[in-house]
Structure 1
Amino acid sequence: MKHIKKALLLCGLGGLLFSNIQAYATPVTGYSWGSRNITYQNNGFNNFYINIWTNARDEWNLSTDVFLKAGTNSKFTAGNKSDSGVTWDGRAEWTFSIITGNYSTMKTWVNTYYTTQSHYNTDNVEGIATHEFGHALGLDHAPFGNPTVMTPNTFERNSSGALVDGRPNKSPTSWDINTINVLYDNNFAKAQSDEPVLDVPENVLQKAQITQKDLKINHYSWAIGYSTLEARAYDADLIVSGIVKNKLSPLIKNDGENEEAFHQSEVAIENVIKGEGSKGDLINLRQIGGETDTSIIYHENSTELQEGTEVLLYLKKIDDNVYIPINEDESIFIKQGVQSFKTGDSSFKNLYDNRLVTFDEVSASIN
């Protein structure tokens, strides 16, 4: 089965099927439900979060041809949890049928560790829930600045350190509405070809099939987005260059309702650009993704680092000597060429957008 990039725009697919979609429609995940009548289970733990999901549901029901209904459905749940060890404030996780391209299960959350912070208001939190229900209906992330509720960050940090709105549209826009209507009017997941549009590599799909484990795809709304080195450095507890030395046992979390997996490795520090540490120190790096007894957890923007890789990292501290890359691949840079870490012209390529930076540029970006 070929790997087709999920962020494909509807306008690029051509044909009469999309004749009523404007030129730059919202990207799609490639998955949808088999019916436009969809029941979800509202697991908000208090009236505020119950209402957040109810209002998000109404946003889609009042503007599109789908009908979301709260009820009893363990296969599609919406709730909230508090997790300080991540940089996301909203999350959607799904499994799907490889035969039909339809969702099999869907779980959506808002992260109260972030949403209870003082810079969040009710509109921000409802925007996260509406965004996550957008994923649950079949919409993917759209670039920051597009007129859609599907931009991936709730806030943006600017170069001076100030927070600005990262998701100006808290409700579905015409881009989102038109895309959803075409998606469900024409059964997009089945209509395009003999194969559904997939957003995971073939080897991951094959591993899930061979092991007969659930493949759980994760999408995140990041609490804060960063477009400059200065902005990312503002929130980093530690910025270092170093070498991945040892692969550690994966971390598995299971609270009975939610199962998570994390890759873990040790990184030997070569240079400390910001934060506490010294050359030769070993830090524990934790990345989203991995395998449990029953599932393969996959996030396309989390690339497991291998031993011997020379890296530059922007990190958040979550425990004693345990760090995560801020927004996963967005804060991981791989050293290019054969330059020494000790020279000022060492260059590094970002895993998320392939941006090249030099060691001197990173050092100069620290305010």
Structure 2
Amino acid sequence: MKNKKLLVTASAVLASISLLVSSTPASATVTSFGKWSNRTQTMYIATSSANSTAWSSGAAKWKSNTNFNVSTKLGTSSIYYAYDVNDSSVTWDGICTYTTRSGIITKATLQLNTYYTNQSKYTSSIKAGVTGHEVGHSLGLNHTSAVETSSIMYPNTFNSDGTPARSVNPSSSDISVVNNLYPVLPTATATGVGSKGDGVYLHASWSVGYKNKEELTKAADLVVKGTVSKEKGSKFGKKGDYSTYSTEVNVEISEVLKGDPAQEGQNITVSQMGGTDGEVTVYSDSSTHLRKNQEIMLFLREVNGDTYIPINEDDSIFVNEGGSFKNIASKKELE
């Protein structure tokens, strides 16, 4: 299908836009959103996982360097569980789904996406860095900003040129934050931390990060300006499989900057992470859901037919505010 499209040249795209790309807003140093009530936990790894060594190595990075005493064991668990998936319809190579109640983590599920991690550039060290990153989320750590590449909690695994983007080991600040969350001699009552409300949250590791307009445009299947014409609501692949929960909108295209010019004036479906099954609401830390009548510019990856995802979620969504397109999360301006 893609090969049949008449593509606008990349040079035309780059001549028409000026873009500042930034990861989802985060602190320069790692911050926390919650903590377990007990610093000793067992993370179970699916017996079917071909990456059990990577999972064990990722957990060991924290057990060896911090007060959090996380051990690993093959098996299943409804509380703390790690397993592999293969999903070409996303741009993340790892994800952590966690549940918090009053700042206390009550459940964490971690996934490694073998669609990416089976690629040759994912050495055993890089894969252990991805699993270590997701274990870091499961301990209560947020992402760091684009300037803090020494942290294992940096959001991207690779740069667009294929070079590693993040450290594969916890930094001194990562270790310090975890040790403050989990002192060796805890208080009698476990007290929650962080500002998140109760709920289920998704926190992803992006396979590739994009630093400027050229990189993001090159990675996109479709770059458009348009207006959100309809909020379609939530979808999910399987109830309880929270990483598959999404929220969809229709976007009426006013201008095609890269892709098939014949799509101008048509509606496409844009799917963002996070949604509800009517009982449980899942929030994606990287996603600000679009609303009807917003005028937007999107950098999109095609997943099937007329359904697209924004590359790395908020990183590739820009909203017209007072005549200027600004990133939906960072508020950096699209000139």
Q: TM-score range by the shorter chain?
A: 0.7 to 0.9
Query: Residues 63-97 of structure 1: CA distance to partner in whole angstroms, max 9, x if unpaired?
Result: 11221122453211011101111111110111122
TM-fit CA distance, 1:283: 0.8
Counterpart CA distance in 2 for 1:325 and 1:25 is 26
Partner of 2:182, secondary structure, is helix
Q: TM-score when scaled to structure 1?
A: 0.77
Deviations 1:321-346, CA, capped at 9 Å, x for gaps: 110001111111111335xxxxxxxx
Residues 171 and 259 (structure 1), Cα distance of their counterparts in 2 relative to 1, 3 Å cut: closer
Residue number among 349, 353, 357 corresponding to 2:326 in the alignment: 349
Distance (Å, rounded) in 2 between the aligned partners of 1:262 and 1:133: 23
Checking the alignment, whether the CA contact within 8 Å between 2:228 and 2:295 is kept in structure 1 is yes
- Provide the rounded CA distance (Å) in 2 between the counterparts of 1:129 and 1:236: 27
CA contact (8 A) 2:136 2:153 kept: yes
Kindly tell me: are residues 182 and 337 of structure 1, through their superposed partners in 2, closer, same or farther at Cα, counting changes over 3 Å? closer
Pair 1:198 & 2:192 matched: no
Deviations 1:38-84 (A, max 9, x none): 111111634x4111111112221111122112245321101110111
Instruction: Report the Cα distance in structure 2 between the residues aligned to 1:258 and 1:128, rounded to whole angstroms.
Output: 20
Contact kept? 1:28, 1:138, Cα under 8 Å: yes
Amino acid at match of 1:351: I
Please list, as runs of the form range in 1=range in 2, the aligned pairs for 1:145-164 lying within 5 A after superposition: 145-146=147-148, 147-157=150-160, 162-164=161-163
Instruction: Tell me which of 27, 30, 35 is aligned to 1:32.
Output: 35
Partner residue, 1:327: 312
Work out the CA distance in 2 between the residues paired with 1:257 and 1:227.
31
Q: One-letter code of the match for 2:132?
A: T
Could you tell me how far apart the structure 2 residues matched to 1:272 and 1:25 are? 38
Between the aligned partners of 1:39 and 1:267, the Cα distance in structure 2 is 44
Structure 1 distance, partners of 2:243, 2:307, is: 20
Quick one: structure 1 residues 248 and 8, their matched pair in 2 at CA, closer, same or farther if it must change by over 3 Å? closer
Letter of the 2:273 partner, please give it.
Answer: I
Deviation for aligned residue 1:109: 0.9
Deviation sequence 1:218-267 (CA, Å, 0-9, x none): 11111111121111111000000011112224212117655632111111
Quote the Cα distance in structure 1 between the aligned partners of 2:223 and 2:294.
16
Q: Which stretch of the first structure deviates more once superposed, 259-268 or 311-320?
A: 259-268
Kindly tell me the number of residue pairs found equivalent between the two proteins.
Answer: 305
Secondary structure of the structure 2 residue equivalent to 1:164: coil
Which segments of 5 or more consecutive residues in structure 2 lack a partner in the other structure? 1-24
For the structure 1 residues 96 and 238, does the alpha-carbon distance in structure 2 shift closer, same or farther, using more than 3 Å as the test?
Answer: same
The reply on whether 1:87 has 2:84 as its aligned counterpart is: no
Quickly say closer, same or farther: Cα 1:82–1:228, change in 2 above 3 A.
Answer: same
Q: What does residue 127 of structure 2 align with?
A: 125
**In 1: Cα distance, 2:30 partner to 2:233 partner:** 39
Distance 1:246 1:54, change over 3 A: same
Segment of structure 1 superposing worse, 102-111 or 69-78? 69-78
Alignment partners' CA distance in 1, 2:332 and 2:152: 26
Aligned counterparts of 1:326 and 1:112: Cα–Cα separation in 2: 18
Q: In the alignment, does 2:246 pair up with 1:262?
A: yes
**Larger CA deviation: 312-321 vs 49-58:** 49-58
Instruction: Go from structure 1 to structure 2 and tell me whether the alpha carbon gap of 1:333 and 1:217 turns closer, same or farther (over 3 Å shift).
Output: same
- State the distance in 1 between where 2:51 and 2:36 align: 24
Question: In structure 1, which of residues 212, 226, 243 is the aligned counterpart of residue 227 of structure 2?
Answer: 243
Q: Is the 8 A contact 1:44 1:53 kept in 2?
A: no
Partner of 1:75: 79
Alignment TM-score, normalising by the size of structure 2 = 0.84
1:313/1:333 contact within 8 Å kept: yes
Query: What is the distance in 2 between the residues matched to 1:288 and 1:179?
Result: 28
Question: Which residue number in structure 2 is paired with residue 17 of structure 1?
Answer: none
1:244, 1:155 → 2: CA distance? Answer: 32
> 1:16-54, CA deviations, whole angstroms, 9 ceiling, x for partnerless residues?
xxxxxxxx753222x1111111111111634x4111111
- The residue type equivalent to 2:54 in the other structure is I
Aligned residues of 1:81 and 1:111 also touching (Cα < 8 A)? yes
Question: What's 2:105 paired with?
Answer: 103
Q: Secondary structure at the match of 2:128?
A: helix
Query: Cα distance 1:241–1:109, how it changes in 2: closer, same or farther (>3 A)?
Result: same
Find the residue that maps to 1:170 and give its secondary structure.
coil
The percentage of aligned residue pairs carrying the same residue is 31
Q: Distance in 2 between matches of 1:348 and 1:355?
A: 8
Structure 2 counterparts to residues 147-226 of structure 1, below 5 A: 147-157=150-160, 162-167=161-166, 169-185=167-183, 196-200=193-197, 215-226=199-210
Deviation of residue 177 (structure 1)?
1.7
Residue 103 (structure 1) shift: 0.8
Partners of 1:144 and 1:166 within 8 A in 2: no
CA RMSD of aligned residues (A): 2.3
User: Could you say if the C-alpha distance between residues 229 and 44 of structure 1 is closer, same or farther in structure 2, counting changes exceeding 3 Å?
Assistant: farther
Of residues 69-78 and 81-90 in structure 1, the stretch that sits farther from structure 2 once superposed is 69-78
Kindly provide the amino acid, as one letter, of the partner of residue 148 in structure 1.
S
The secondary structure found in structure 2 opposite 1:144 is: coil
Separation (CA, whole Å) in 2 of partners of 1:187 and 1:144: 33
